[in-house]
Amino acid sequence: MPLKPSSKAWMMEHVNDPFVHLAKKHGYRARAAFKLKEMDLKWKLFFKGANVVDLGAAPGSWSQYAARQLKDSGNILALDLLSIEPIANVHFFQCDFTCEESLLLLKQALKNKPADIILSDMAPNLSGIKDTDQAKSVYLAELALDCAQNLLQTNGVLLVKVFQGSAYNAFLKSMQSVFQKVERFKPKASRPRSPEVYLFGKGLK
């Protein structure tokens, strides 16, 4: 079956994407690793011995990047509905984060110690309907925020993806009500047409 024009355009964009080539060169599973790298350089997210939780980890490029920064120190817990290939020094759990049991699973895996960093690159399955996709994105971001309130240490960090749209400002206010410091950022590796932005929250109120 021949590709639709939209599929051809996406394929051309993907093939010519410099971050796709960089990901292959450096052994990352997805170009998204370079979004996290840019944000790490901006906020210095990782440090020796950190407890890291990676929500929506598949295919694993954020966990790969975190593991390279921590080397053999710390603890990385990755979670996704989809399976991923094993990553050295990363403990992966295949489960549905929308279920309450997943939070209990993370608490047990942390052995009742707080997390230092929670990463959420979660995104919904896109329907192509802008308002629907944005609402689903905010819902996942709200779950990540709830997870942060339950698992983060007092001076911990939440880095969460959310789609811009009608519910974005309300979620931003929720972040600001929970964290002492909140910043918005769109990495260069995030395609300009994408509605995604990342919110950085640090220091629970």
d(CA 3, CA 1): 7
Helix axes 100-109, 130-151, angle to 10 degrees: 40
SS3 18: helix
Sign of CA dihedral 7, 36, 174, 140: positive
- The dihedral formed by the CA atoms of 24, 80, 86 and 33, expressed in degrees to the nearest 10: 30
Contact 50, 67 (CB under 8 A): no
- Active-site annotation holder among 37, 136, 161, 202: 161
- Structure token pair of residue 32: 């998204």
CA-wise closest residue to 61 among 101, 28, 96, 98: 28
- Residue 126 in 3-state DSSP? coil
First to last CA, the chain: 55
Backbone angles phi, psi at 158, to 5 degrees: -120, 125
* Cα radius of gyration rounded to whole Å, the chain: 17
> Is 136 designated active site?
no
The catalytic residues are: 161
